[in-house]
Structure 1
C-alpha cells in the first residue's frame, strides 16, 4: 500500500450517478490516492442513459463489482 488516502463511492442506481460525480469532484483534492466510482452490474446499468456524463467519468475510474 502506498499510504495515500483514497475513497470509493458506491453507486447503487444509475440515477445516483450525477450526485456521485459531483461528490467525487468536490472531495478529490482530499484523497491523493484517487476517487473511485464503483457500481454493481445490473439491468439498470445496462439501460442507463449515462453517456451524457462520459466526459466527467474519464476523470475517475468506473469499476464493476
Structure 2
C-alpha cells in the first residue's frame, strides 16, 4: 500500500497511473471491509452458540 501512495504522490503522475492506483486502493479497501465483516459474523455466531449452549446446559 505504501508503494501505491508513493506512486500517487510522485511528480510524474498521469491519468493512467492515477486510475491504476485508485483501482488498487479500491480493491484493498473492499478486501479489508470483507475481513471486518467476516470477523463480526464469526463473533456473532460464537456468542449465539454460547447463548444456546447456556440455554440447554443441564437439560440433557
- TM-score bracket relative to the smaller structure: under 0.3
Instruction: Indicate the structure with greater strand content.
Output: 1
TM-score, structure 1 normalization: 0.26
Higher relative contact order (CA 8 A, sep 6+): 1
The answer to which structure has the higher helix fraction is 2
From the CA coordinates, give the structure whose radius of gyration is larger: 2
